[in-house]
Chain A
Amino acid sequence: DVKVTQSSRYLVKRTGEKVFLECVQDMDHENMFWYRQDPGLGLRLIYFSYDVKMKEKGDIPEGYSVSREKKERFSLILESASTNQTSMYLCASSWTETEAFFGQGTRLTVV
């Protein structure tokens, strides 16, 4: 069974804090993704990575950065959290030819 694990289910952070969201997958997938889900907007791609140390911007990368030092781990970093980054964050991984598998999500609230 494919497992994508996000380090936290719920997080509350203060405006201006640096926030790290961690994601680990155990299937040796080459691709990893970070999405955010907001009501009425569906899932929007923030960043994705197709190999270690490789990353590409998605549709809404502003205010975020990522790190992929090891194949199994993909981190999303909010350099200075703002209230408009309050959202559900979803990590996913895949082989190139298959569907993406998602983690359980992290509900981030920035106050």
Chain B
Amino acid sequence: DQQVKQNSPSLSVQEGRISILNCDYTNSMFDYFLWYKKYPAEGPTFLISISSIKDKNEDGRFTVFLNKSAKHLSLHIVPSQPGDSAVYFCAASSGSGAQKLVFGQGTRLTINP
């Protein structure tokens, strides 16, 4: 049973435009959500997180939105740059912090020049 789902395996966006990556979850006990970025042959790197007490968190070009009633979160990247091309993973945990993260399947983002 996939508790965290990223339903789009891939996404292609023009350079300079907005990239929107989506993530849905089923476990209402999740209270901390993270986005990771992964290049081929490297480990995932942390991008941005949000606690369930917030509905938005922003860091430079990256903004994460959380809709608890819909059990949905999204990552917005604006403007998109070629270096943003990577696989993005959504992750969630319950309890506190990053214990026992549950990951989605990932979305491959390609930024076209």
Contacts and interface: CB of A to CB of B under 8 A. Distances in A.
A73 to B, nearest CB: 17
Interface in A34-80: 35, 40-45, 48, 50, 56, 58
B105 to A, nearest CB: 4
A12 to B, nearest CB: 16
Interface residues of B, number: 25
Contact of B9 (A40, A43, A98, A100): A40
A interface SS class: strand
What's the interface size class on A, roughly?
20 to 34
B99 A94 contact: yes
B99 A45 contact: no
Contacts, number: 68
A105 B42 contact: yes
A96 B99 contact: yes
Contacts of A96: 96-99
A103 B99 contact: no
Nearest to A95: B97
A42 B42 contact: no
A100 B101 CA distance: 8
Contact of B103 (A40, A43, A56): A43
Given A31-B98, A42-B104, A107-B41, A99 B89 contact: no
Interface of A: 4, 9, 31, 33, 35, 40-45, 48, 50, 56, 58, 90, 92, 94-105, 107
Interface of B: 4, 6, 9, 34, 36, 41-46, 49, 89, 91, 96-106
